């Protein structure tokens, strides 16, 4: 078992390392990306503050006493930061690498090599996500701690919830990758990825709780979210760190079980899609 694990590391770790080295070379892009994301956090802060203040005026109370969908203002701001942190930790995207291989004419070479293409993509996605996580997760964690000096952010998650949350992040990353891989297979049939990425990004951002917590969705949209895997990549891990499973280990384990089921479903779906895509490989540009 140890030899097999070591063999896998030697086979796929170079892909992770090469992507990490390549990503570091574009450090200015990460800097501007961080600035843009922090601008989003600032806008979200004042937007939610305005919403809570308007509700407070309507209810005749101070805005810090208002709750919307079970979220007080401080918890909502904590959610905004956690969404950015968890999102950077689980964003194991594969479709960009698939697109490069197809349009760069390298897909045929990838297929004849004695390696599993999906495992290679996972190693590459892991490398990019590792750099992104180090930069973004640390930056937003520091930002969250700074904001906590001015807003009493409710860090109420107990130790079991935090540990379960870490496992949930790992599961969420795998689900994100398998979903990304499945969408990436569409490129084999369309050879046009831009529109697909835009559609996937918009759907994913909404249904993963990237814009607002899913708890604030209307019932019909919650139903759609429950039928798709996107919420499992961000929203579910976030709920652990918000303390929603404090003292309720059975419910926490049930949430992790749902993620595990989604991993099995998406693995099977991506395997079938991959087999279909290989039959219709069209190499362009190489």
Position 3 pLDDT exceeds 70: no
Position 84 pLDDT exceeds 50: yes
Residue of 229, 225, 214, 222 whose CA lies nearest to 259: 229
Q: Angle between the 73-90 and 27-59 helix axes, to the nearest 10 degrees?
A: 160
User: pLDDT tens-digit profile of 250-263?
Assistant: 999 999 999 999 99
Q: What share of the chain is helix, strand, coil (3-state, %, to 5)?
A: 75, 0, 20
- In angstroms, what is the C-alpha Rg of the chain? 20
Cα separation, 39 vs 43, in Å, equals 6
Q: Which residue has the tokens 């090599």?
A: 113
Query: Comparing 16 with 176, which gets the higher pLDDT?
Result: 176
Position 228 pLDDT exceeds 60: yes
Q: From the CB of residue 120, how many other CB atoms can be counted at a distance below 10 Å?
A: 20
| Ramachandran angles phi, psi of 225, nearest 5° | -60, -40
Are 38 and 143 contacting, i.e. CB atoms less than 8 angstroms apart? yes
The CA distances from residue 197 to 67, 144, 214, in Å, are: 35, 30, 22
Residue of 28, 170, 149 whose CA lies nearest to 86: 170
Please report, for the chain, the start and end positions of each structural domain, with discontinuous segments joined by +: 11-278
Which two tokens mark 13? 């770790």
Mean pLDDT (the chain, rounded) = 82
Position 169 pLDDT exceeds 90: yes
Are 245 and 255 contacting, i.e. CB atoms less than 8 angstroms apart? yes
Q: From the CB of residue 145, how many other CB atoms can be counted at a distance below 10 Å?
A: 12
| For residues 183-196, average pLDDT | 71
Cα separation, 229 vs 234, in Å, equals 10
In the chain, % of residues over pLDDT 70:
84
Its pTM stands at 0.88
| Residue 105 pLDDT class (50, 70, 90 cuts) | low
Cα separation, 10 vs 3, in Å, equals 10
Are 20 and 127 contacting, i.e. CB atoms less than 8 angstroms apart? yes
3-class DSSP state of 71 = strand
Q: Which residue has the tokens 């079980």?
A: 257
User: pLDDT tens-digit profile of 109-143?
Assistant: 666 666 778 888 888 888 888 887 888 888 888 88
| Ramachandran angles phi, psi of 62, nearest 5° | -75, 155
Which two tokens mark 129? 């996500």
């Amino acid at each position: 078992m140890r030899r097999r694990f070591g063999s896998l590391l030697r086979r796929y770790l170079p892909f992770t390392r090469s992507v990490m080295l390549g990503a570091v070379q574009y450090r200015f892009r990460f800097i501007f990306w961080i600035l843009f994301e922090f601008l989003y956090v600032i806008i979200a802060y004042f937007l939610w503050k305005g919403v809570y203040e308007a509700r407070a005026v309507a209810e005749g109370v101070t805005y810090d006493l208002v709750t919307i969908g079970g979220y007080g203002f401080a918890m909502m701001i904590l959610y905004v930061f956690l969404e950015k942190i968890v999102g950077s930790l689980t964003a194991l995207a594969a479709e960009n690498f698939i697109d490069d291989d197809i349009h760069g004419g390298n897909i045929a070479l990838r297929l004849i090599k004695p390696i599993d293409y999906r495992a290679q993509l996972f190693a590459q996605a892991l490398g990019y996500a590792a750099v992104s996580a180090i930069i973004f997760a640390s930056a937003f964690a520091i930002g969250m701690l700074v904001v906590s000096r001015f807003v009493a952010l409710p860090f109420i998650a107990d130790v079991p919830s935090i540990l379960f949350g870490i496992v949930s992040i790992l599961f969420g990353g795998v689900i994100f990758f398998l979903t990304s891989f499945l969408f990436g297979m569409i490129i084999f049939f369309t050879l046009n990825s831009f529109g697909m990425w835009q559609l996937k990004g918009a759907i994913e951002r909404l249904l993963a709780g990237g814009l607002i917590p899913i708890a604030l969705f209307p019932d019909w949209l919650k139903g759609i979210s429950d039928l798709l895997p996107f919420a499992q990549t961000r929203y579910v891990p976030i709920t652990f760190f918000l303390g929603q499973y404090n003292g309720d280990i059975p419910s926490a384990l049930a949430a992790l079980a749902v993620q595990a089921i989604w991993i099995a479903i998406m693995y099977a779906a991506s395997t079938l899609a991959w087999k279909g895509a290989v039959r219709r490989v069209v190499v362009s540009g190489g």
